[in-house]
Structures are given as C-alpha cells and as structure tokens.
Amino acid sequence: MKITTVLASASLAIFAGFGSTQEPVSRPNIVVFLVDDMGMADLAVTGHPTIRTPHLDQMAREGIRFTSFY
C-alpha cells in the first residue's frame, strides 16, 4: 500500500465524526452535601421555625432528597 493511500484513509477516519449532528449525551448533575454536627431539623425545609434556607429549600423541592439511608 502506498503512503498516500494510508494517509488518505487515516484522514478520512479522523474527520468522519466531525460532521455528526448528534447531541452529546447529557449527564446528571449530582450535588452531595457533607455536613458535620447538623441535626435533621436544622433547615427550613425540614421544619426549623426560624432558620431560613431558601436556596436549599428550592434544591430540595426540585431534586431528590435521601432522608433515610445508611
């Protein structure tokens, strides 16, 4: 095989994927909070009467809450 044939084949193989119209695969957004010395009812979303946590409350409403796992 001639070197020009090999180079042409390699170039075609490399650039074949650039014209693709497929959207990239979306991955889930995962946020893990690791908190020390915090009780179950220390946030507004879990029932604290005076502490206000609007951003955490919104994340809890729109996401998934794991409240009982080991």
The Cα 36–Cα 10 span in angstroms is 55
Quote the distance between the C-alpha of residue 32 and its chain's center: 11
What's the pTM? 0.48
Q: State the pLDDT at residue 50.
A: 92
Q: Which two tokens stand for residue 48?
A: 């604290």
Q: State the pLDDT at residue 58.
A: 92
**Per-residue pLDDT tens for 20-29?**
666 777 888 8
The Cα 27–Cα 60 span in angstroms is 20
Model confidence at 5: pLDDT above 60: yes
Model confidence at 60: pLDDT above 80: yes
